Structure 1
Amino acid sequence: MSTLLKPEAVNRPSMAAQAAESVVIVMAGADQLPVRRKGGAKPVSVDLLAALVEAALPDGFGGVSRIGFETAWEAMAPETRRALTDDLTCYLGWSASEKRQAFPADPEDLVRYLRWLEQGRGFRPATLTRRIASISRIHRMLSLSSRDTLPTRAAMVADALKAARRRRGSQQRQAAGVRLGPMMNPQDEVEGVTLAMLFSVCTSDLQGLRDGALLAVAFESGLRVSELAAIHIRDVDPQADGRGILTIGKTKTDQEGEGRYAWLSVDTMRRIGAWLEASGLEDGPLFRRVGVDRRQGRPARAPQDYFSIPGHTRHWQERLQGRPAEPPLARYAIGEGPLTRQGIGVIYKRLVRAVIDEGMVELEPGREGDLVRAISTHSMRVGLTQDLFASGEDGAGVCQAIGWRSVSTALRYVRKQSVKGGAVSRVMDGLRR
């Protein structure tokens, strides 16, 4: 593997700034990094899932097949495991509070559960459908019933889901897309936060170099957040022309790990090179936590005459001897493990807040929070999809490039955008003015 390009084109700290501040970079374990606030992802395992199910089974069931659970668990994607565990925890909590038997489930109880989710918790139909799918999966893992006799397939459960969709509508709340910035065609319109805006608020210190590289790779690769966090330095293959090829291993739609590749531009490779050069990383995860501890500098103090020092002074020896000037100190601690999906989401939202503070986007007063909440770890993937469709790429090409499961999935994110370039607009624009 050839060496990464030198990052001349990337904003770096000036020599004067480097001289004014002492910089220390250390590799640190998780215990040496700042403690995250509560709300991080809880660890999940097959042991936890089996324990939850065993505790909810009726007396005399005979226990859970350990090998069956392990086999089913190994076949799941990591995000599927987490969603299944979360959904099961919610369902079991409701069953316990309502004194209902969780397994085997009764269709009437499932309808009551769906009503509680919708009316009591305010969940949308898509979430209700996922919760029922998780309950169905647990029943199959326990061999409680055949596929045709699953309680989740009862007519009343299907009707309850249909009624929820009629009441609330089936349209899901979507992450706001972060697009590149320039318009892709004359009818195109780019709104909200753009990638160019986010780049402009990335600082030139170690954390900012990491952020810039993360944004660039996230946008050009269109990876899901779990796939983005899993990138290792060895997965980036620099090419002779300055561009790069990113090797992508297991994904949500490729659990066998056949792999695919993503193209990286010269600018992205320069940003990766700047981050690696500044951090000194050579192997392991590409994107990691960066803890920052800044200390203010102290001016020099000349020695003071003994008799001029007040008697109650605590540090009179320092005044007597004087002290040299101490420049500001910035200590950066780089984590050993990769960023988590929660960590990447925090980075995106922090940069979006910086864009808002700089006044780069026009917002109605009081709507700043709505924009921040609309940005998620899915926003880069959505924005790239919108840019590719706006530039004239067809659905099959977009799905192949980004890894969408189907064209219909990708089209969900360009429904409003595609109206401007649709058949009606192309025909009628010139006839009805």
Structure 2
Amino acid sequence: MTKSNTVSPSSSLAVVPDEDLAARLREFVQDREAFSDNTWRQLLSVMRICGAWAQKNGRSFLPMSSSCLRDYLLYLQSTGRASSTISTHAALISMLHRNADLNPPNSSPLVFRAVKRINRTAVVQGERAGQAIPFRIRDLMKLDAVWAESVYLRELRDLAFLHVAYATLLRISELGRLRVRDVTRVADGRIILDIAWTKTLVQTGGLIKALGDLSTTRLTQWLMASGLASEPDAFIFSSVHRTNKARVNTENPLTTRAIEDIFKRAWQEAGPDGEIAGNKNRYRGWTGHSTRVGAAVDMAAKNYSTAQIMQEGTWKKPETVMRYIRHVEAHSGAMVDLMTTYNILSD
């Protein structure tokens, strides 16, 4: 059991004097599996930060009044938090209140105006949404040329991981959960991956992802070279010992840090030359989200529709996809087409 599973929201509160409220919080904790681990970790983090602020300033955290929430959000802004982070805090505080059967404090016009003020100030001051550096198909092929014949299992695993990540647009947590038994093949030998569930798709039918010829070859090379092909319960992307032997991991998948290290090694091997300007002090190389962004950008560049991209990446909101592909879409806008056509006719 992970640490996030052992910490409860009720333990983040100094005092819960209302026994009925405490009981509702306990019920909330009992049903924590209704939420993703990432959501739960974020909730606990917000509760610790907001609880400390409330205690220091003599405010109530649960229940929280609209005026207290307004002041808390403005406090976050004063400490330099991004507007997206502040919105997340507001949403999670609202979520906690709903699950405790309390009126969410962000339903008040007072909070609505505060959020609007925060967002407007952020935009006027030049804040831009952070975005992972895209890992494009050309980057994958560059790495493929270097690592495909490697004698090092770690490089074969890293290459197979990046092929699968790019081809499926899965999130790193979803990739880490894949087991050898999830691999099947169609008649021509290409691999089919049975994805039990994703962040946005939780249903008994699961999700099926197919790999192309080259990605099938790279994943097969890794499974055969590592010996994992005969270990159905093992995670596909297991760790590699310094002696160049793969560990058969059946209990714990690769950690987020270990997966992020795959992207760091890829960047060191095939990243662009020269200094990359920091994006919100985070994105100076490929990260765990880079393959999703890069695949979406490449699909947009090939004129696949937003609906198709959303389906491949299991995105629910078109706005999310549009943030990733906005630079591609900017050059296919109506006015660009109009001006280009006018210039051609003028010539």
Which residue in the other structure is 1:286 paired with?
236
1:351 correspondence with 2:266? yes
CA distance in 2, matches of 1:72, 1:136: 17
CA distance in 2, matches of 1:371, 1:52: 29
Per the alignment, in what secondary structure is the counterpart of residue 64 of structure 1?
helix
Per the alignment, in what secondary structure is the counterpart of residue 68 of structure 2?
helix
Structure with the higher fraction of residues in strand conformation: 1
What one-letter code is carried by the residue in structure 2 that aligns with 1:393?
Y
Which residue in the other structure is 1:102 paired with?
61
Per the alignment, in what secondary structure is the counterpart of residue 284 of structure 2?
helix
Which residue in the other structure is 2:306 paired with?
395
Per the alignment, in what secondary structure is the counterpart of residue 87 of structure 1?
helix
CA distance in 1, matches of 2:283, 2:81: 21
What one-letter code is carried by the residue in structure 1 that aligns with 2:134?
G
Alignment match of 1:134 (pick from 85, 92, 100): 92
Shift of 1:103: 1.1
The 8 Å contact of residues 200 and 316 in structure 2, kept in 1 or not, is answered as yes
The 8 Å contact of residues 245 and 264 in structure 1, kept in 2 or not, is answered as yes
The 8 Å contact of residues 290 and 335 in structure 1, kept in 2 or not, is answered as no
Which residue in the other structure is 1:417 paired with?
328
CA distance in 2, matches of 1:118, 1:275: 47
The 8 Å contact of residues 46 and 70 in structure 1, kept in 2 or not, is answered as no
Cα 1:243/1:123, change in 2 over 3 Å: same
Alignment of 1:248-397 (within 5 A): 248-281=195-228, 282-283=231-232, 284-292=234-242, 330-332=243-245, 334=247, 336=249, 337-356=252-271, 361-364=272-275, 367=277, 373-397=284-308
- Segments of structure 2 that go 5 or more residues without pairing to the other structure are none
Structure 1 stretch displaced more, 271-280 or 235-244? 235-244
Structure 1 stretch displaced more, 392-401 or 195-204? 195-204
Which residue in the other structure is 2:3 paired with?
43
The 8 Å contact of residues 133 and 283 in structure 2, kept in 1 or not, is answered as no
CA distance in 2, matches of 1:396, 1:108: 40
Cα 1:204/1:159, change in 2 over 3 Å: farther
Q: TM-score, normalised by structure 2?
A: 0.87
How many residues were matched structurally? Answer: 332
Which residue in the other structure is 2:12 paired with?
52
Which residue in the other structure is 2:122 paired with?
168
Structure with the higher fraction of residues in helix conformation: 2
CA distance in 2, matches of 1:152, 1:57: 21
CA distance in 2, matches of 1:127, 1:269: 39
Per the alignment, in what secondary structure is the counterpart of residue 239 of structure 2?
strand
CA distance in 1, matches of 2:65, 2:91: 15
Cα 1:265/1:60, change in 2 over 3 Å: closer
Alignment of 1:3-42 (within 5 A): none
Q: TM-score, normalised by structure 1?
A: 0.70
- Segments of structure 1 that go 5 or more residues without pairing to the other structure are 1-41, 182-193, 293-329
The 8 Å contact of residues 306 and 321 in structure 2, kept in 1 or not, is answered as yes
Higher relative contact order (CA 8 A, sep 6+): 1
- Cα deviation 1:60-85 (Å, max 9, x = unaligned): 66623366214542321232222222
Shift of 1:142: 1.6
Shift of 1:374: 4.7
Cα 1:231/1:346, change in 2 over 3 Å: same
CA distance in 2, matches of 1:412, 1:347: 25
The 8 Å contact of residues 293 and 324 in structure 2, kept in 1 or not, is answered as yes
Identity %: 30
Shift of 1:206: 0.8
Q: RMSD across aligned C-alpha pairs, in angstroms?
A: 2.5
Per the alignment, in what secondary structure is the counterpart of residue 247 of structure 1?
strand
Shift of 1:372: 5.6
Which residue in the other structure is 1:7 paired with?
none
| Structure with larger Rg | 1
